[in-house]
Amino acid sequence: MSVATSDDTAPEGYTTVHGYYRFTDIFYEWSRALPDCDLQEVRSLKAFIAYDAIVHPDHPLSTTKGGVELYLGTLPNGEKRLMFSSAQIEYIQYWLHAMKLTREPIALPSSEWLIQASDLQHVSSVVYKNGQEFKKAQKTIEKNNKKLKGTSTLLGTRRLNFDRARSFWQAQHGAWLAIDFEAWDRDHTVLLEFGYSSVQWRDGQKIEDKGHLIVEEHKKYFNTYVPNFREHYNFGTSVEVSRAEFKQRINGLITDLSKDKPLFLLFHDYHGDIDYLKSKAVQAPIDGFIIDLPETVPTKGLFVLDTRELFSALEGESFANQSKLERVCRLMGLKPEYLHNAGNDAHYTMLVAAEMISNEEIDTQRERRWPGRTDTTGVGGGPGVRVQFQQWEEESDISDTEGILGGWARTSNEAA
């Protein structure tokens, strides 16, 4: 992992970040370990890093948007630590002395407390704007660390990928392209539709595009086991193209978006769509794509993300997840219509991905969305973070009634 550096919005006096210190070590132990400091100097340090003080807009560590920016590091065992950067600690030392609150620059924390970037799987920034939010986040981190003990390696990998995707998206880095194909259900070599939804940034401005292509020569094919919704694109006008143009436009889209930046391909269950991209009907330039996201922000390459895996990380699912797109959309507060239209599926895939990775870090976000709903016993009686959903939340046919009427609606429908 490359060494992080302070940005242009940091207070004057910030230096290169060499590592990190646990928030708890700084908050509780630093003042106790200071040699030759009088009581007033200790009080000045404690006041500077107090919960309500450090989040104040006028605090020297305040971000340009208010609040304090700290760092959340993921250890190899999957546990997280809330941290200050060493640059912030150096600045605290500098500021207290410059303001004549200490006679001499106070001693920096012991190097034994320093966490090197190489000791962490991932580091992301978090901003807290009020003391209550700050305290709650710290308790949530501690609580989830206990629950994560003994959970599966698969869940740890999913959580790490979620964290990295979130960091890359919130850094407005690269291009993001959600893709979906619809094929004839009697012969999957016959491609009927292609849908896409893309997001990228230019000079800080978000640029979005989406579309739906229908293969003109294949309009005579209708599915037997899957709904035929090719005429029900929700987000614009469908475009009918020849097979040759179908192939050309898909290739051009991927080539253009990956020309001078990394391209993150989003799928809901990528296996089938990757096969379609590689097929003779498309032959897309996707050789060498990577499944697991790298530690640092890439400057080029093709990376595959699956919204099933992202949602598994968020809901705390430790086993294989076969969640359908409709289920994920509903549990994320979206109301999908006319799924199995390639354009709709692609855009809903983009919407659920963005809803996850544009928001808070994973454990804080899960608790906000589904407060008090995690499994405290886990599989086999062990710890766990899996959200316990109600049946009416899981099933679309009863979700609109049972959430309001409870089990009565379910019983009455079954009896009818």
For the residues 29-57, what does the mean pLDDT come to?
A: 91
Please give the average per-residue pLDDT across 272-277, as a whole number.
Answer: 96
Return the bridge partners of 182, or none: 193
Q: What pLDDT shows up at residue 399?
A: 40
Instruction: Note the pLDDT of residue 408.
Output: 32
Residue 383, pLDDT > 70, answer no
All structural domains of the chain, each given as residue ranges with its CATH number in brackets, are 20-150 (no CATH), 175-374 (3.30.420.10)
Min mean pLDDT across 209-213, 223-227, 237-241, 374-378 is at 374-378
How far apart CA 26 and CA 19 sit, in angstroms, is 14
Asked which of 21-35, 174-188, 343-357, 377-391 is least confident by mean pLDDT, the reply is 377-391
Averaged pLDDT for residues 266-281: 96
Mean residue pLDDT of the chain comes to 87
- With vertex at residue 124, the alpha carbon angle to CA 47 and CA 122, rounded to the nearest 5 degrees, is 125
The pTM for the full model equals 0.82
Q: Tell me the pLDDT tens digit for each residue of 79-120.
A: 899 999 999 999 999 999 999 999 999 999 988 999 998 899
pLDDT score of 37: 79
Q: What is the pLDDT of residues 141-167, one digit of tens each?
A: 888 888 887 777 889 899 999 999 999
pLDDT of residue 133: 86
**Least confident among 124-128, 224-228, 379-383:** 379-383
Mean pLDDT in residue range 292-296: 89
Residue 6 binned pLDDT confidence (cut-offs 50, 70, 90): very low
Highest mean pLDDT among 5-9, 41-45, 72-76, 243-247: 243-247
Quote the pLDDT of residue 251. Answer: 98
Does residue 326 register a pLDDT over 90? yes
Please report, rounded to a whole number, the percentage of residues in the chain having pLDDT higher than 90.
68
Of the CA atoms within 13 Å of residue 142, those in its CB half-sphere come to 9
pLDDT digits (tens, 9 = 90+) for 216-267: 999 999 999 999 999 999 999 999 999 999 999 999 999 999 999 999 999 9
Task: Decide if pLDDT at 179 tops 90.
Answer: yes
Cα–Cα distance measured from residue 62 to residue 405, given in angstroms and rounded to the nearest whole number: 47
Asked if pLDDT for residue 402 goes beyond 60, the answer is no
Report the pLDDT value the prediction gives residue 411, as an integer from 0 to 100.
31
Residue 377: the pLDDT is 53
